[in-house]
Amino acid sequence: MAIQKVGVVGCGLMGHGIVQVAAQGGCQVVVLEAEQKFLDSGLARIDKSLTKLAEKAAEKAVKEGKANEADAKAKATADAAATRARIRGTTSQQDLADCDLVIEAIVENLDVKKKLFKELGAICKASTIFASNTSSFPIGEMATASGRPARFVGLHFFNPVQLMKLVEVVRTDSTDAQVFEDAKAFGAACGKAPVACKDTPGFVVNRLLVPYMTEAMRMLERGDATAQDIDTAMKLGCGYPMGPIELTDYVGLDTTLFIVEGWTKRYPDEPAFTVPAVLREKVKLGKLGRKTGEGFYKWEGDKRA
Ligand code: CAA
Ligand code: NAD
Protein backbone atom coordinates (compact mmCIF):
# COMPACT_ATOMS: atom_id res chain seq x y z
CA MET A 1 0.00 0.00 0.00
CA ALA A 2 1.24 3.51 -0.87
CA ILE A 3 0.29 4.80 2.58
CA GLN A 4 2.60 3.65 5.36
CA LYS A 5 2.79 6.59 7.76
CA VAL A 6 -0.40 8.34 8.83
CA GLY A 7 -0.96 11.54 10.78
CA VAL A 8 -4.27 12.13 12.57
CA VAL A 9 -5.19 15.57 13.89
CA GLY A 10 -7.51 15.40 16.90
CA CYS A 11 -7.71 12.49 19.36
CA GLY A 12 -11.33 13.00 20.46
CA LEU A 13 -14.34 10.80 19.84
CA MET A 14 -13.49 10.16 16.17
CA GLY A 15 -9.76 10.82 16.07
CA HIS A 16 -8.86 8.18 18.66
CA GLY A 17 -10.81 5.56 16.69
CA ILE A 18 -9.20 6.53 13.38
CA VAL A 19 -5.75 6.34 14.99
CA GLN A 20 -6.56 2.86 16.29
CA VAL A 21 -7.92 1.36 13.05
CA ALA A 22 -5.03 2.82 11.03
CA ALA A 23 -2.55 1.18 13.44
CA GLN A 24 -4.53 -2.08 13.35
CA GLY A 25 -4.19 -1.88 9.56
CA GLY A 26 -0.39 -1.88 9.91
CA CYS A 27 0.36 1.85 9.51
CA GLN A 28 2.69 3.88 11.70
CA VAL A 29 0.50 6.60 13.22
CA VAL A 30 1.32 10.01 14.71
CA VAL A 31 -1.59 11.72 16.45
CA LEU A 32 -1.57 15.47 17.02
CA GLU A 33 -3.62 17.14 19.76
CA ALA A 34 -3.96 20.73 20.88
CA GLU A 35 -3.00 19.90 24.49
CA GLN A 36 -1.26 17.03 26.26
CA LYS A 37 -4.28 16.31 28.50
CA PHE A 38 -6.51 15.65 25.42
CA LEU A 39 -3.81 13.43 23.97
CA ASP A 40 -3.61 11.47 27.23
CA SER A 41 -7.35 10.90 27.42
CA GLY A 42 -7.57 9.88 23.73
CA LEU A 43 -4.68 7.42 24.09
CA ALA A 44 -6.30 5.99 27.26
CA ARG A 45 -9.48 5.31 25.23
CA ILE A 46 -7.39 3.48 22.63
CA ASP A 47 -5.82 1.33 25.37
CA LYS A 48 -9.27 0.46 26.72
CA SER A 49 -10.63 -0.40 23.29
CA LEU A 50 -7.61 -2.53 22.36
CA THR A 51 -7.95 -4.44 25.64
CA LYS A 52 -11.65 -5.08 24.97
CA LEU A 53 -11.01 -6.21 21.38
CA ALA A 54 -8.16 -8.48 22.52
CA GLU A 55 -10.47 -10.16 25.06
CA LYS A 56 -13.04 -10.74 22.33
CA ALA A 57 -10.45 -12.05 19.84
CA ALA A 58 -9.16 -14.53 22.45
CA GLU A 59 -12.70 -15.72 23.30
CA LYS A 60 -13.44 -16.22 19.60
CA ALA A 61 -10.24 -18.20 18.98
CA VAL A 62 -11.05 -20.53 21.90
CA LYS A 63 -14.66 -20.95 20.78
CA GLU A 64 -13.56 -21.82 17.24
CA GLY A 65 -11.05 -24.35 18.65
CA LYS A 66 -8.06 -22.50 17.15
CA ALA A 67 -6.10 -22.29 20.42
CA ASN A 68 -6.33 -23.08 24.13
CA GLU A 69 -7.25 -20.20 26.46
CA ALA A 70 -3.71 -19.33 27.57
CA ASP A 71 -2.29 -19.29 24.00
CA ALA A 72 -5.27 -17.36 22.64
CA LYS A 73 -4.93 -14.70 25.35
CA ALA A 74 -1.15 -14.43 24.84
CA LYS A 75 -1.54 -13.95 21.07
CA ALA A 76 -4.36 -11.42 21.35
CA THR A 77 -2.42 -9.44 23.97
CA ALA A 78 0.74 -9.46 21.81
CA ASP A 79 -1.25 -8.29 18.74
CA ALA A 80 -2.79 -5.43 20.74
CA ALA A 81 0.66 -4.42 22.05
CA ALA A 82 2.08 -4.44 18.51
CA THR A 83 -0.78 -2.19 17.35
CA ARG A 84 -0.24 0.18 20.29
CA ALA A 85 3.51 0.32 19.56
CA ARG A 86 2.73 1.78 16.11
CA ILE A 87 0.99 4.82 17.72
CA ARG A 88 2.81 7.95 18.87
CA GLY A 89 1.29 11.14 20.27
CA THR A 90 2.49 14.70 19.71
CA THR A 91 1.48 18.32 20.26
CA SER A 92 3.79 19.62 17.49
CA GLN A 93 2.51 20.00 13.91
CA GLN A 94 6.09 19.53 12.63
CA ASP A 95 5.84 15.83 13.55
CA LEU A 96 3.37 15.35 10.68
CA ALA A 97 5.82 16.63 8.04
CA ASP A 98 6.78 13.22 6.58
CA CYS A 99 3.38 11.49 6.74
CA ASP A 100 2.00 9.88 3.56
CA LEU A 101 -1.54 10.77 4.65
CA VAL A 102 -2.86 13.26 7.22
CA ILE A 103 -6.48 12.89 8.39
CA GLU A 104 -8.13 15.80 10.19
CA ALA A 105 -10.70 15.02 12.93
CA ILE A 106 -11.02 18.30 14.85
CA VAL A 107 -14.03 20.43 15.73
CA GLU A 108 -16.76 20.81 13.05
CA ASN A 109 -15.88 24.44 12.24
CA LEU A 110 -14.92 25.22 8.65
CA ASP A 111 -12.72 28.25 9.44
CA VAL A 112 -10.73 26.29 12.03
CA LYS A 113 -10.30 23.38 9.60
CA LYS A 114 -9.20 25.69 6.74
CA LYS A 115 -6.64 27.37 8.99
CA LEU A 116 -5.25 23.96 9.98
CA PHE A 117 -4.93 22.77 6.36
CA LYS A 118 -3.23 25.99 5.33
CA GLU A 119 -0.64 25.40 8.07
CA LEU A 120 -0.24 21.71 7.17
CA GLY A 121 0.13 22.63 3.48
CA ALA A 122 3.24 24.60 4.39
CA ILE A 123 4.68 21.87 6.66
CA CYS A 124 4.03 18.48 5.03
CA LYS A 125 6.06 16.94 2.19
CA ALA A 126 4.72 17.58 -1.33
CA SER A 127 3.43 14.01 -1.71
CA THR A 128 1.37 13.98 1.51
CA ILE A 129 -2.33 13.30 0.90
CA PHE A 130 -4.72 15.34 3.03
CA ALA A 131 -8.12 14.09 4.21
CA SER A 132 -10.90 15.52 6.32
CA ASN A 133 -13.29 13.49 8.45
CA THR A 134 -15.83 16.34 8.32
CA SER A 135 -19.48 15.34 8.73
CA SER A 136 -20.88 18.11 6.59
CA PHE A 137 -18.50 20.73 5.16
CA PRO A 138 -17.38 21.01 1.53
CA ILE A 139 -14.16 19.09 0.96
CA GLY A 140 -13.38 21.46 -1.95
CA GLU A 141 -13.05 24.51 0.33
CA MET A 142 -10.55 22.77 2.62
CA ALA A 143 -8.70 21.42 -0.43
CA THR A 144 -8.24 24.95 -1.76
CA ALA A 145 -7.08 26.20 1.65
CA SER A 146 -4.43 23.45 1.80
CA GLY A 147 -2.83 24.65 -1.46
CA ARG A 148 -2.89 21.09 -2.90
CA PRO A 149 -6.41 20.42 -4.17
CA ALA A 150 -5.34 17.42 -6.30
CA ARG A 151 -4.08 15.59 -3.20
CA PHE A 152 -7.17 16.09 -1.06
CA VAL A 153 -10.09 13.75 -0.25
CA GLY A 154 -12.78 13.28 2.35
CA LEU A 155 -12.38 10.17 4.52
CA HIS A 156 -15.57 10.02 6.55
CA PHE A 157 -15.49 7.34 9.25
CA PHE A 158 -18.43 6.44 11.51
CA ASN A 159 -18.86 6.42 15.26
CA PRO A 160 -17.71 4.22 16.98
CA VAL A 161 -14.90 3.90 14.44
CA GLN A 162 -13.62 0.62 15.89
CA LEU A 163 -16.96 -1.10 15.20
CA MET A 164 -18.64 0.65 12.25
CA LYS A 165 -17.68 -0.97 8.96
CA LEU A 166 -18.11 1.94 6.53
CA VAL A 167 -15.86 4.72 5.29
CA GLU A 168 -17.11 7.27 2.75
CA VAL A 169 -14.33 8.34 0.38
CA VAL A 170 -15.15 11.75 -1.06
CA ARG A 171 -13.62 13.20 -4.21
CA THR A 172 -13.87 16.69 -5.63
CA ASP A 173 -13.51 17.62 -9.31
CA SER A 174 -9.83 18.33 -8.57
CA THR A 175 -8.95 15.08 -6.76
CA ASP A 176 -6.26 13.11 -8.57
CA ALA A 177 -7.47 9.61 -9.63
CA GLN A 178 -4.50 7.83 -8.01
CA VAL A 179 -4.95 9.78 -4.77
CA PHE A 180 -8.58 8.63 -4.67
CA GLU A 181 -7.52 4.98 -5.22
CA ASP A 182 -4.84 5.27 -2.50
CA ALA A 183 -7.42 6.67 -0.08
CA LYS A 184 -9.81 3.80 -0.84
CA ALA A 185 -7.02 1.25 -0.33
CA PHE A 186 -6.19 2.89 3.00
CA GLY A 187 -9.87 2.64 4.09
CA ALA A 188 -9.87 -1.06 3.18
CA ALA A 189 -6.59 -1.61 5.10
CA CYS A 190 -8.35 -0.11 8.14
CA GLY A 191 -10.92 -2.91 7.83
CA LYS A 192 -13.63 -0.69 6.37
CA ALA A 193 -15.82 -0.98 3.27
CA PRO A 194 -15.16 2.18 1.22
CA VAL A 195 -17.97 3.81 -0.75
CA ALA A 196 -17.28 6.59 -3.27
CA CYS A 197 -19.13 9.89 -2.76
CA LYS A 198 -19.21 13.23 -4.50
CA ASP A 199 -18.56 16.42 -2.54
CA THR A 200 -22.20 17.09 -1.60
CA PRO A 201 -23.61 18.21 1.80
CA GLY A 202 -23.54 15.22 4.19
CA PHE A 203 -22.25 12.89 1.43
CA VAL A 204 -24.52 9.79 1.50
CA VAL A 205 -25.08 8.86 5.15
CA ASN A 206 -25.45 12.23 6.86
CA ARG A 207 -27.64 13.66 4.08
CA LEU A 208 -30.14 10.97 5.10
CA LEU A 209 -29.32 10.49 8.78
CA VAL A 210 -29.08 14.04 10.15
CA PRO A 211 -32.50 15.25 8.85
CA TYR A 212 -33.95 12.04 10.39
CA MET A 213 -32.35 12.91 13.76
CA THR A 214 -33.59 16.53 13.65
CA GLU A 215 -37.10 15.42 12.65
CA ALA A 216 -37.13 13.15 15.72
CA MET A 217 -36.17 16.17 17.88
CA ARG A 218 -39.02 18.16 16.35
CA MET A 219 -41.42 15.30 17.23
CA LEU A 220 -40.17 15.58 20.80
CA GLU A 221 -40.73 19.35 20.79
CA ARG A 222 -44.29 18.91 19.52
CA GLY A 223 -44.94 16.33 22.24
CA ASP A 224 -45.87 13.68 19.64
CA ALA A 225 -44.06 10.99 21.65
CA THR A 226 -41.46 10.68 24.43
CA ALA A 227 -37.76 10.25 23.65
CA GLN A 228 -37.95 6.66 24.92
CA ASP A 229 -40.95 5.85 22.71
CA ILE A 230 -39.39 7.45 19.60
CA ASP A 231 -36.23 5.39 20.14
CA THR A 232 -38.10 2.17 20.91
CA ALA A 233 -40.26 2.70 17.82
CA MET A 234 -37.29 2.97 15.46
CA LYS A 235 -35.38 0.12 17.12
CA LEU A 236 -38.28 -2.35 17.11
CA GLY A 237 -40.13 -1.02 14.08
CA CYS A 238 -37.14 -0.69 11.76
CA GLY A 239 -34.47 -2.86 13.37
CA TYR A 240 -32.08 0.04 13.96
CA PRO A 241 -29.47 -0.59 16.70
CA MET A 242 -30.22 2.80 18.30
CA GLY A 243 -33.13 5.22 18.04
CA PRO A 244 -32.55 8.75 16.67
CA ILE A 245 -32.60 10.56 20.03
CA GLU A 246 -30.11 8.19 21.65
CA LEU A 247 -27.99 8.40 18.50
CA THR A 248 -27.87 12.21 18.79
CA ASP A 249 -26.51 11.79 22.33
CA TYR A 250 -24.00 9.26 20.96
CA VAL A 251 -22.79 11.55 18.14
CA GLY A 252 -22.66 14.66 20.42
CA LEU A 253 -25.25 17.45 20.49
CA ASP A 254 -22.57 20.07 19.80
CA THR A 255 -21.37 18.25 16.68
CA THR A 256 -24.97 17.73 15.51
CA LEU A 257 -25.70 21.45 16.03
CA PHE A 258 -22.52 22.49 14.15
CA ILE A 259 -23.55 20.25 11.23
CA VAL A 260 -27.11 21.61 10.92
CA GLU A 261 -26.10 25.24 11.56
CA GLY A 262 -23.48 24.99 8.81
CA TRP A 263 -26.11 23.70 6.38
CA THR A 264 -28.71 26.31 7.42
CA LYS A 265 -26.20 29.05 6.64
CA ARG A 266 -25.33 27.59 3.25
CA TYR A 267 -28.78 26.35 2.20
CA PRO A 268 -31.33 28.64 3.93
CA ASP A 269 -34.18 27.45 1.66
CA GLU A 270 -33.76 23.71 2.35
CA PRO A 271 -36.44 22.68 4.92
CA ALA A 272 -34.57 19.49 5.84
CA PHE A 273 -31.68 21.62 7.16
CA THR A 274 -33.25 23.53 10.07
CA VAL A 275 -32.11 23.54 13.68
CA PRO A 276 -34.58 22.22 16.31
CA ALA A 277 -34.89 24.64 19.26
CA VAL A 278 -34.40 21.81 21.77
CA LEU A 279 -30.98 21.05 20.28
CA ARG A 280 -29.83 24.64 20.61
CA GLU A 281 -31.14 24.86 24.20
CA LYS A 282 -29.40 21.70 25.36
CA VAL A 283 -26.07 22.74 23.83
CA LYS A 284 -26.38 26.11 25.60
CA LEU A 285 -26.80 24.22 28.89
CA GLY A 286 -23.66 22.16 28.19
CA LYS A 287 -25.72 18.97 27.79
CA LEU A 288 -23.75 17.58 24.88
CA GLY A 289 -24.76 13.91 25.23
CA ARG A 290 -22.56 10.93 26.07
CA LYS A 291 -19.36 13.05 26.18
CA THR A 292 -20.63 15.24 29.07
CA GLY A 293 -22.72 12.55 30.82
CA GLU A 294 -26.05 14.10 29.82
CA GLY A 295 -27.93 15.08 26.66
CA PHE A 296 -31.45 13.83 26.07
CA TYR A 297 -30.51 10.92 28.40
CA LYS A 298 -28.02 10.47 31.24
CA TRP A 299 -24.83 8.49 30.50
CA GLU A 300 -22.21 6.67 32.58
CA GLY A 301 -19.12 6.43 30.36
CA ASP A 302 -20.13 4.79 27.09
CA LYS A 303 -23.41 3.36 28.44
CA ARG A 304 -26.84 4.86 29.08
CA ALA A 305 -27.40 5.34 32.85
N1 CAA B 1 -13.97 -0.45 21.04
C2 CAA B 1 -14.04 -1.75 21.36
N3 CAA B 1 -15.18 -2.34 21.78
C4 CAA B 1 -16.28 -1.57 21.85
C5 CAA B 1 -16.28 -0.19 21.51
C6 CAA B 1 -15.06 0.35 21.09
N7 CAA B 1 -14.96 1.63 20.75
N8 CAA B 1 -17.53 0.30 21.69
C9 CAA B 1 -18.29 -0.70 22.13
N10 CAA B 1 -17.54 -1.84 22.22
C11 CAA B 1 -17.99 -3.16 22.65
C12 CAA B 1 -18.77 -3.10 23.97
O13 CAA B 1 -17.90 -3.09 25.07
C14 CAA B 1 -19.61 -4.35 23.89
O15 CAA B 1 -18.83 -5.46 24.31
P16 CAA B 1 -19.53 -6.73 25.07
O17 CAA B 1 -20.35 -7.39 24.02
O18 CAA B 1 -18.38 -7.57 25.51
O19 CAA B 1 -20.32 -6.14 26.20
C20 CAA B 1 -19.89 -4.50 22.39
O21 CAA B 1 -18.93 -3.67 21.70
C22 CAA B 1 -21.27 -4.05 22.01
O23 CAA B 1 -21.50 -2.75 22.52
P24 CAA B 1 -22.71 -2.36 23.47
O25 CAA B 1 -22.94 -3.41 24.50
O26 CAA B 1 -22.47 -0.96 23.95
O27 CAA B 1 -24.05 -2.31 22.64
P28 CAA B 1 -24.50 -2.55 21.15
O29 CAA B 1 -24.56 -4.00 20.87
O30 CAA B 1 -25.75 -1.73 21.04
O31 CAA B 1 -23.45 -1.93 20.13
C32 CAA B 1 -23.13 0.06 18.84
C33 CAA B 1 -23.06 -0.59 20.21
C34 CAA B 1 -22.18 -0.67 17.87
C35 CAA B 1 -22.66 1.49 19.03
C36 CAA B 1 -24.59 -0.03 18.27
O37 CAA B 1 -25.50 0.43 19.23
C38 CAA B 1 -24.77 0.78 17.01
O39 CAA B 1 -24.43 0.34 15.91
N40 CAA B 1 -25.33 2.01 17.15
C41 CAA B 1 -25.55 2.92 16.02
C42 CAA B 1 -24.27 3.67 15.74
C43 CAA B 1 -24.38 4.57 14.54
O44 CAA B 1 -25.41 4.70 13.89
N45 CAA B 1 -23.26 5.24 14.23
C46 CAA B 1 -23.22 6.23 13.19
C47 CAA B 1 -23.35 7.60 13.81
S48 CAA B 1 -23.39 8.90 12.61
C49 CAA B 1 -21.79 9.17 12.24
O50 CAA B 1 -20.88 8.57 12.78
C51 CAA B 1 -21.51 10.16 11.16
C52 CAA B 1 -21.41 11.60 11.55
O53 CAA B 1 -20.72 12.32 10.83
C54 CAA B 1 -22.12 12.20 12.69
P1 NAD C 1 -14.35 15.89 19.54
O2 NAD C 1 -14.73 17.19 20.10
O3 NAD C 1 -14.64 14.64 20.32
O4 NAD C 1 -12.78 15.86 19.19
C5 NAD C 1 -12.10 16.90 18.53
C6 NAD C 1 -10.68 16.92 19.07
O7 NAD C 1 -9.88 17.77 18.25
C8 NAD C 1 -10.58 17.46 20.51
O9 NAD C 1 -9.93 16.49 21.31
C10 NAD C 1 -9.74 18.75 20.36
O11 NAD C 1 -8.87 18.97 21.45
C12 NAD C 1 -8.97 18.46 19.10
N13 NAD C 1 -8.52 19.67 18.38
C14 NAD C 1 -9.26 20.77 18.10
N15 NAD C 1 -8.52 21.66 17.38
C16 NAD C 1 -7.30 21.09 17.18
C17 NAD C 1 -6.12 21.48 16.49
N18 NAD C 1 -6.05 22.65 15.85
N19 NAD C 1 -5.06 20.65 16.50
C20 NAD C 1 -5.12 19.45 17.13
N21 NAD C 1 -6.22 19.02 17.79
C22 NAD C 1 -7.30 19.82 17.81
O23 NAD C 1 -15.06 15.80 18.10
P24 NAD C 1 -15.45 14.51 17.23
O25 NAD C 1 -16.82 14.07 17.56
O26 NAD C 1 -14.30 13.54 17.29
O27 NAD C 1 -15.52 15.16 15.76
C28 NAD C 1 -14.35 15.42 15.01
C29 NAD C 1 -14.72 15.55 13.54
O30 NAD C 1 -15.29 14.31 13.08
C31 NAD C 1 -15.76 16.63 13.24
O32 NAD C 1 -15.47 17.19 11.98
C33 NAD C 1 -17.06 15.84 13.20
O34 NAD C 1 -18.07 16.46 12.45
C35 NAD C 1 -16.58 14.55 12.54
N36 NAD C 1 -17.41 13.36 12.82
C37 NAD C 1 -18.00 13.21 14.03
C38 NAD C 1 -18.77 12.07 14.27
C39 NAD C 1 -19.44 11.83 15.59
O40 NAD C 1 -20.28 10.93 15.69
N41 NAD C 1 -19.11 12.58 16.63
C42 NAD C 1 -18.88 11.08 13.26
C43 NAD C 1 -18.21 11.27 12.03
C44 NAD C 1 -17.48 12.43 11.81
Is the CB of 160 inside a 6 Å radius of any atom of ligand 1? yes
Check whether domain 5-198 has CATH 3.40.50.720, yes or no:
yes
Report pLDDT for 236.
Answer: 98
Residue located nearest, by CA, to atom 4 of ligand 1: 49
Residues of the chain with pLDDT under 70: none
* Strand pairing category for 28-32 and 5-9: parallel
- Write the CA distances from 137 to 15, 48, 156, 192, 219, integer angstroms: 17, 31, 11, 22, 26
Q: Let me know if 135 is a catalytic residue.
A: yes
Q: Which residues of 259-268 are buried (b: 16+ CB within 10 A; e: fewer)?
A: bbbbbeeeee
Distance in Å, CA 18 to ligand 1 centroid: 15
Q: Fold identical between 5-198 and 207-294?
A: no
What residues flank ligand 2, with Cβ below 6 Å?
A: 9-15, 32-34, 38, 105-108, 116, 133-135, 159, 251-252, 255
Report pLDDT for 194.
Answer: 98
Report pLDDT for 112.
Answer: 98
Residue located nearest, by CA, to atom 42 of ligand 1: 159
Ligand 2 atom nearest residue 255's Cα: 34
Is the CB of 24 inside a 6 Å radius of any atom of ligand 1? no
**Cα–Cα distance measured from residue 247 to residue 209, given in angstroms and rounded to the nearest whole number:** 10
Q: Let me know if 168 is a catalytic residue.
A: yes
Is the CB of 159 inside a 6 Å radius of any atom of ligand 1? yes
Report pLDDT for 301.
Answer: 87
* Strand pairing category for 303-304 and 299-300: antiparallel
Residue 149 DSSP one-character state: G
Report pLDDT for 159.
Answer: 96
Topology of the domain covering 207-294: N-(1-d-carboxylethyl)-l-norvaline Dehydrogenase; domain 2 (1.10.1040)
Residue in 104, 141, 168, 246 annotated catalytic? 168
Residue in 132, 135, 136, 146 annotated catalytic? 135
Report pLDDT for 302.
Answer: 85
Residue located nearest, by CA, to atom 2 of ligand 1: 49
| pLDDT tens per residue, range 252-274 | 999 999 999 999 999 999 999 99
For residue 160, say if its preceding peptide bond is cis, omega within 30 degrees of 0: yes
**Cα–Cα distance measured from residue 124 to residue 112, given in angstroms and rounded to the nearest whole number:** 18
Residues paired with residue 6 on neighbouring β-strands, in sequence order: 29, 101
Q: Are 244 and 213 in contact (CB under 8 A)?
A: yes
User: What are the extents of the domains in the chain?
Assistant: 5-198, 207-294
Report pLDDT for 242.
Answer: 97
Predicted structure pTM score: 0.97
Ligand 1 atom nearest residue 158's Cα: 50
Mean model confidence pLDDT for the chain: 97
